Structure 1
Amino acid sequence: MLSLLRRITQEVTAAQSLPAALDIIVRRVRRAMRSEVCSIYLVDPKTQEYVLMATRGLNSDGAGKLSLKADEGLVSLVGRRAEPVNLEDAHAHPAFHYLSGSGEERFQSFLGVPIIHHRQVLGVLVVQHEEKRRFDEGEEAFLITLSAQLAGVIAHAEATGAFATLADNNTRSSVTDLRYKGVPGSSGVAIGKGVVFFPPADLDAIPDRPTNDVDGEIEAFNDALNAVRCDIRRAGSRLSQHLSADEKALFDVYLKILDDNALAGEIEKRIKDGNWAAGALRQVIKLHVSHFDQMDDPYLRERATDIRDLGRRILSHLQEKNQDLSNRFDEPGILVGEELTASMLGEVPLDKIKGLVSVMGSSNSHVAILARAMGIPTVMGVVDAPFAKLDNVDMIVDGYAGNVYTYPSTPLLESYQQIVDEEKALEEEFQTLKDLPCETLDGARIRLFVNTGLSADINRSLDRGAEGIGLYRTEVPFMVRDRFPTEADQELIYRQQLEGFYPAPVTMRTLDIGGDKALPYFPIKEENPFLGWRGIRVTLDHLEIFMAQIRAMIKASAGLHNLKIMLPMISNVAEVEDALALIRRAYAELKEESYDVVMPQVGVMIEVPAAVYQAKELARLVDFMSVGSNDLTQYLLAVDRNNSRVADLYHSFHPAVLRALQNIVDSVKDEGVKLSVCGEMAGDPMGAILIMAMGYDTLSMSSTSLPKVKAVLRNITMEQARFMLHQVLPLAHADAVKQTMVQLMREADVERLVRPSKSAELG
């Protein structure tokens, strides 16, 4: 059963279109269950009717034409209940409705199961028999399992506009304003053409791309093919003395596949049809792999691996001439990828990137955090977007609502251009606030610091009125090297930050790796990295790393005395006591070495629930405390903040998060420590109002967020902020908190500073 399910799913995934996929499903299910009818009905998103999209056993001419209303028939009953309906005599059921023209009048038994994706019923999968009999539990379980596996494929196909193309008999070019839903990564709107990033030698990630140089692409393909032939021959020759005759024959198999004119000829044909060499290669290799995967013979199925391997080898040679991502940006565009990373941003000049779209990840992925720091509109977790087909496609990125539109119509483009114009006007308004303090209308003062990790952040932060650094991510210099930086290397890097902001304070977090932050030269492989060896746990286990970093920090502060040290991922008092002893030791050593240094203030990050409930004890040991709202939210809600599947469960305004933040203030109010929030919540004007009202002294955020936060806080009173806090603290739902805050901010006339009015209408 499992192998059958796997093969059906593989066939459907490899299908070139939604009609082909649906036909595979009904054909294979009918045969597997030995049923006389198998049909698929999909919900038309416009009318909510159940449209017969594919069938074997009923009148196939009705596909795409026959439909049942949302409250009509057994199919809609399955959809409304969102659970299976299994009947031995369908005609006797009160909900039965004969679908005229389908030819189903002679079929008695009925089993329908819903196709559900992300809680939404997409359609119904149905099998029927002429004889009166109830489908057994095994048959029902098979159909339920299959529909669950296929739901994602169908959802993806619908999201790409395939449903409209099939049902309305349109051409793809006539489909406009296709919308893909993700999660907001960085606010703002970007309008431009997509530039798809694909990792080296990853066939699945290669996009289709039209070419005007057919001869050049064919030549590049043949060169790559010859290069792989040479590679295979060299490998066979090098290993020949270690292999038997049978094993040597495996290399001959590879060469025969490469010399097969059918494979090369098929790729060349697709190039002549207008696709570039890499895209044509992907299409043909995947087609051949799917054919082998479907074979019953285990030996033949394994040949799919050989084909896939050769495809990657050819692709690798094709990409040697086209590795530089920056060369692909003739003009500023929107970078699109399956999983964008911070390192990818480093490959492209920032003035070439208008927006980012990532299929994977969430609003708190590091690439999203960097995008916010650089002011690049971003949407993450766009799981249904056909990213490989978005190269050079006109797009709109709505970083406010988390929507991505492709093939936008003129009216939609005009609406979003109004938002872009509003944003520019607001930025000009914010510039006038640069040298003004962040002070409410009734005189309450709160400091606005920045989170940084790059030397380029210094001027950008100062230009926007930052009063200091609330979080310097020291892991960033570690990530861009191929070895641990020396103490001297680190001293130079840290000195640049300390001098750049002097005399303002600079808070440096000790090395925070693990979780989703890895060093290429110090890999950490764990089953559950976010609950594993990360942050202070790593550095206390490696004193040579910790001591070198602490010495470098303190040496870098010589004569400046504006250093503050912050310890990440603290979960118990003993960790702080051990770290403090080591920091004092490093300080004493440097004093003995005649450095002009003072003992820096030391603080802890409150990121895990254990620290929330030991806040009072921790406060007695340190000079300041900073809440990392990103990780605290993740751990309180048990939601991986980088997992797009559960991204909608990650809420910074969840009542538990707000109450934890308030609890920290209440716990340490008599301990004399300074309190700040340095997570992304601090850079959200809505969050900034609530955090200020709770009693925090400092907010630390990206430099991009700072002007907007300052503008909002300068336009309300502390009394208004506290009123808002008192209104939302008792609420039980995160959505209720946000909706209430939006209304209260509108009444206070500051909502316009947060989000352009037109974007609120479109989102």
Structure 2
Amino acid sequence: MLSLLRRITQEVTAAQSLPAALDIIVRRVRRAMRAEVCSIYLVDANTKEYVLMATRGLNADVAGLVSLKANEGLVSLVGRRAEPVNLDDAHIHPSFHYLKGSGEERYRSFLGVPIIHHRQVLGVLVVQHEDKRRFDEGEEAFLITLSAQLAGVIAHAEATGAIASLTPNNIPNGSDFRYKGVPGSSGVAIGRGVVVFPPADLDVIPDRYTTEFDAEIQDFYQALEAVRQDIRRASNRISQHLSADEKALFDVYLKILDDNSVAGEVVRKIKEGNWAQGALRQVIKAHINQFNRMDDPYLRERASDLRDLGRRILSHLQEKAPTVIERFSEPSIIIGEELTASMLGEIPIDKIKGLVSVMGSGNSHVAILARAMGIPTVMGALDLPYAQLDKVDLIVDGYLGKIFTHPSEALLENYQQIVDEERLLEEEYETLKDLPCETLDGQRLSLYVNTGLSADIVRSLDRGAEGIGLYRTEVPFMVRDRFPTEAEQVVIYRQQLEGFAPAPVTVRTLDIGGDKALSYFPINEENPFLGWRGIRVTLDHLEIFMAQIRAMIKASAGLHNLKIMLPMISNVAEVEEAMALIRRGYAEVKEEGHDVRMPKVGVMIEIPAAVYQVKELSEMVDFLSVGSNDLTQYLLAVDRNNPRVADLYNSFHPSVLRALLSIVDQVRDEDVGLSVCGEMAGDPMGAILLMAMGYEILSMSSTSLPKVKAVIRNISKQQAQFMLAEVMKLSHAEAVTQTMTRLMREANIERLIRPSKTTEVE
């Protein structure tokens, strides 16, 4: 059963189009279940009707032409219930409706199961028999299992089916294809797509239309000959150690590369309009899928040989390809299966108009980096046919998490008005730079910046930052191939401390683990977010911790604006141990003759355990800083980097709001500073609620500073407290955001953070 499921899924995945995928399903399921009929009905997104898209057993001529209304027939009943319907005589069921022209009048038994992807019913998979008999539990379980496995494949095939050909001329002008992701960084970007991908990875190579067939074929043959030479050299080098049978394997490799085999197919794909790298990917992956479907284990293993050959050819092709920088002649929208910070680092910042990542969520590090740079971004666009979007006109809506491909003139005009309105807002923000962040009734709020790069200093000061609320020390660790020395760290920290002096600079001790890895210090764990990370790592490695503490304190000599923050605190024992080490480091630096003072020390509140011990912690340190990103993640048990559960990650969840308010209430009478340094602080909606709760300092990306200041300066503390009181009564995160949106609109401050037309485009 498992092998059959695997083979069907592999065949469907390898299908070149949605109709082909559906035909494979109905043909293979009908045979596997020995059914007389197998059909697939898909939901029409516009009419909500169930359209017969593919069938074996019914009249195939009506496929795509006949449908059932949303409340009509047994198929729609399956869809409405979102659960199987299994009947021995469908004709006597009150919901039965004969689909004219289908020829189903002969068939009595009926089993239909829903095809569900991300809680959305995509369609219904049906099997039928002439005899009056109920399908047994095993048959029903098989169909349910298959439907669950194929749902994602069908969803992806539906999405990619919107662009059926490589040739741009085949796409109707103004198609307005729409794809949904997760908002990563607010704003709108209009431009051409450029697909980026890691080197020598066949799986992520995009399709790219070309008319320069001869040049692409020449490049391919040169790469092919280079691989042939590599194989011959490898064969000659180790031939004396191999038997005749083993040496024959190299001859097999050379035959695979013959013009009559793989090479000839690649050339044909190039002549059809794909560039060499894309054509190679298509052919190699098609052959790999064929090998994977074979029953013989030996033949299935040959798939890895073919993949190896494909990568070798690809690496030679990529040696001749233009560099990343050469590809960007104009500002573009960068698209990738999984964008990383290192990918962005290779692209000039002035060439990036927007970002789209198939993987990741709104709180992935790339999204946080995008917000810091003010780049409109959409993450988690799982069904986006990204490989086909190179040089395609796009609109990225970072407010609503949407991507439009091949936009119409009307849609372009609408979004251009949003871009123009954003520009006017930026000019309005400029006038606030040197003004204090205080409410209409005089309540003062300090706005600090989160940073990890020296380049952020000038940008942050230009936008009115009053200090650094979080300096991420892991950034200079991540860009090296070894741990930085104590002397190197002194230079790094001194730059931040001098840049903001006399304003305070909060430096967080090394926070690695989870989704922040050092290539030279790998941490491999089953569940890294609940594992060895943050303070747990550094307390286990005193040589790392003490070098960092001494470097921080030395860097503060004569400036005295250093604050040290400890991450991932889950109990008071960790703070006691860390405080003893910090005092030791201070004494050592003092003895060396440096002009230093004992820095203020604080802890991050980002684990539920710390929320419940916040009073005890406040008695041990000088300040507390809530990391709303991780606190939300741990309270809701949601991996914030996982797009499948991205909708569940919400800092406005009532539990998160109650935890944040509880922290303030517990330390109200303690002499301790209180701040928030997560992404919620940089969200104007979140800033209003945090100020109303009693938080004194909000720390955010420099891009968010002007928006937050504009909103705070246009409301009173009394208004903010009224808003807080209203949302604390609510039990749904969505209700919180809807209520806050309404209250902000009534207070005439929504216009300060989001152009009015973004709500019209929805």
Residue in 2 that maps onto 1:214: 213
What's the offset of the Cα at 1:266? 1.1
Cα shift at 1:261: 2.3
Instruction: Show the counterpart of 1:274.
Output: 273
Q: Does 1:746 align with 2:745?
A: yes
Cα distance per residue 1:432-478 (max 9 Å; x no partner): 00000001100010100000001110000000000000000010001
Name the residue aligned to 2:105: 105
Give the equivalent residue in structure 2 for 1:155: 155
Deviations 1:65-91 (A, max 9, x none): 011111111111111111111111111
Taking structure 1 as the reference length, what is the TM-score of the superposition?
0.98
Instruction: Give the match's secondary structure for 2:172.
Output: helix
Alpha-carbon distance between aligned partners in 2 of 1:529 and 1:668, rounded to the nearest angstrom: 31
- Residues 378 and 401, structure 2, Cα contact 8 Å, conserved in 1: yes
1:159, distance to aligned residue in structure 2 (A): 2.4
Q: Is the 8 A contact 1:690 1:722 kept in 2?
A: yes
The aligned residue for residue 595 of structure 2 is 596
Superposition pairs of residues 143-182 of structure 1, within 5 angstroms: 143-162=143-162, 172-173=171-172, 176-182=175-181
Deviations 1:263-293 (A, max 9, x none): 1111111112221100010111111122222
- CA distance in structure 2 between the partners assigned to 1:204 and 1:690 by the alignment: 45
CA distance in 1, matches of 2:320, 2:548: 40
Tell me whether 171-180 or 547-556 shows the greater mean CA deviation. Answer: 171-180
Question: Counterparts of 1:377 and 1:633 in 2: how far apart (Å)?
Answer: 23
| In the alignment, structure 1 residue 70 sits paired with structure 2 residue 88 | no
Work out the CA distance in 2 between the residues paired with 1:420 and 1:676. 33
**Residues 527-538 of structure 1: matches in 2 within 5 Å?**
527-538=526-537
Paired residue for 1:296?
A: 295
Secondary structure of the corresponding residue to residue 311 of structure 1: helix
C-alpha distance in 2, partners of 1:27/1:713? 62
Structure 1 segment 490-569 matched on structure 2, within 5 A: 490-569=489-568
The answer as to whether partners of 1:37 and 1:129 remain within 8 angstroms in 2 is yes
For residues 550 and 311 of structure 1, the distance between their equivalents in structure 2, rounded to whole angstroms, comes to: 49
Conservation of the 8 A alpha-carbon contact between 2:255 and 2:261: no
Q: Distance in 2 between matches of 1:289 and 1:174?
A: 36
Q: Aligned-pair RMSD on alpha carbons?
A: 1.4
CA distance in 1 between partners of 2:601 and 2:418 (Å): 44
Contact 1:160 1:178 in 2 (8 A): no
Deviation of 1:195 after TM superposition, in Å, equals 0.6
Matched, 1:418 2:414: no
Match of 2:368 in 1: 369
Residue in structure 1 matched with residue 755 of structure 2 by the alignment: 756
Q: Aligned-pair distance for 1:321?
A: 2.4
What is the one-letter code of the residue matched to 1:109?
Answer: S
Q: Distance in 1 between matches of 2:76 and 2:483?
A: 62
**2 CA distance for matches of 1:100 and 1:747?**
54
SS in 1 for 2:354: strand
Partner of 1:116: 116
Counterpart residue identity of residue 463, structure 2: R
Show the 5 A alignment for 1:389-408: 389-408=388-407
Cα distance in 1 for residues equivalent to 2:524 and 2:561: 37
Amino acid at match of 2:487: A
Equivalent residue for 1:38?
Answer: 38
Asked if 1:340 is matched to 2:339, the reply is yes
Inter-partner Cα distance in structure 1 for 2:322 and 2:649 = 36
- CA deviation after TM superposition for structure 1 residue 251, in Å: 2.3
Runs of 4+ in 1 over 6 A off after TM superposition: none
Cα distance in structure 2, aligned partners of 1:238 and 1:730: 75
The Cα offsets for residues 709-762 of structure 1, whole Å up to 9 and x where unpaired, read as 000000000111111111111210101111111111111110101110001222
State the 1:326 CA deviation. Answer: 2.0
2:14 aligned partner: 14
Q: Distance in 2 between matches of 1:462 and 1:175?
A: 43
Q: Give the AA of the match of 2:580.
A: A
> In structure 2, how many angstroms separate the alpha carbons of the residues matched to 1:243 and 1:573?
63
Contact 1:39 1:52 in 2 (8 A): yes
Q: Secondary structure at the match of 1:481?
A: coil
Q: For 1:252, give the aligned amino acid.
A: D
Q: Give % identity.
A: 80
Contact 2:173–2:407 (CA under 8 A) maintained in structure 1:
no
Q: AA paired with 2:105?
A: E
What is the CA distance between 1:160 and its match in structure 2? 3.3
Q: Report if aligned partners of 2:681, 2:690 keep a CA contact under 8 Å in 1.
A: yes
Letter in 2 for 1:466: A
2:32 counterpart SS class: helix
Instruction: Summarize deviations over 1:657-708 as a string: whole Å, max 9, x none.
Output: 0010011111111220000000000000000000001111100000000000
Tell me how far 1:171 sits from its aligned partner: 5.7
Q: Contact 2:447–2:467 at 8 Å: present in 1 too?
A: yes
**SS of match in other structure, 1:261:** coil
Structure 1 distance, partners of 2:130, 2:664, is 70
Query: Any conservation in 2 of the 1:159–1:178 contact (CA below 8 Å)?
Result: no
Deviation at residue 214 of structure 1 after TM alignment? 1.8
The answer to whether the 8 A contact 2:358-2:381 is kept is: yes
Give CA-to-partner distance per residue, 1:597-628, whole Å, 9 cap, x none.
11111100000001100001111110111000
- State the distance in 1 between where 2:494 and 2:245 align: 63
Q: Secondary structure at the match of 1:105?
A: helix
Paired residue secondary structure (2:507): strand
How is 1:448-459 mapped onto 2 (pairs within 5 angstroms)?
448-459=447-458
| Contact 2:10–2:289 (Cα < 8 Å) also in 1 | yes
Q: Secondary structure at the match of 1:300?
A: helix
Alpha-carbon separation, structure 2, partners of 1:644 and 1:704? 24
Question: 212-221 or 391-400, which moves further after superposition?
Answer: 212-221
1:573 and 2:572 aligned:
yes
What are the ranges of 5 or more consecutive residues in structure 1 without an aligned counterpart?
none
Instruction: Indicate the SS of the match to 2:333.
Output: strand
Match of 1:356 in 2: 355
Distance across 1 between alignment mates of 2:161 and 2:713: 46
Taking the aligned partners of 1:217 and 1:173, their CA distance within structure 2 comes to 27
Match of 2:56 in 1: 56
Q: Equivalents in 1 of 2:629, 2:705: separation in Å? A: 18
d(CA) in 1 for partners of 2:527 and 2:322?
33
d(CA) in 2 for partners of 1:26 and 1:467?
64
Between the aligned partners of 1:244 and 1:732, the Cα distance in structure 2 is: 72
Tell me how far 1:241 sits from its aligned partner: 4.0
CA contact (8 A) 1:175 1:407 kept: yes
- How far is 1:584 from its partner? 0.8
Answer yes or no: is 1:3 the counterpart of 2:3: yes
Q: What pairs with 1:118-137 in structure 2 (closer than 5 Å)?
A: 118-137=118-137
SS at match of 2:218: helix
Could you tell me which residue of structure 2 aligns to residue 466 of structure 1? Answer: 465
Rounded Cα–Cα distance in structure 2 between residues aligned with 1:288 and 1:590: 64
Counterpart residue identity of residue 138, structure 2: G
**Cα contact 2:395–2:403 (8 A) shared by 1:** yes
**8 Å Cα contact 2:173-2:408 kept in structure 1:** no
- Counterpart CA distance in 2 for 1:523 and 1:237 is 37
Name the CA distance, whole Å, in 1 between partners of 2:301 and 2:290. 11
Kept in 1, the 8 Å contact 2:174–2:409? The answer is no
Deviation at 1:230, TM superposition (A): 2.1
Distance 1:668 1:227 in 2: 69
Report the Cα offset of residue 322 of structure 1: 2.7
Distance in 1 separating the partners of 2:354 and 2:161: 23
Q: Deviations over 1:515-548 (max 9, x none)?
A: 0000011110000000000000001111111111
Counterpart amino acid of 1:74?
Answer: L
For the residue of structure 2 that corresponds to 1:223, the secondary structure is helix
What per-residue deviation string (whole Å, max 9, x for no partner) do you get for residues 143-192 of structure 1? 11111111111111222354x989xxx96436711111111000000000
Q: Could you say what secondary structure the match of 1:185 adopts?
A: strand
Matches of 2:226 and 2:57 in 1, distance apart?
51
**Partner in structure 2 of residue 638 of structure 1:** 637
Contact 1:334 1:353 in 2 (8 A): yes
Separation of aligned partners in 2, 1:555 and 1:238: 56
Counterpart in the other structure of 2:485: 486
Which AA in structure 1 matches 2:692? A
Q: Deviations over 1:194-246 (max 9, x none)?
A: 11011111111111112232222111111111121222223333333443333
Q: How many residues align?
A: 759
Partner secondary structure for residue 508 of structure 1: strand
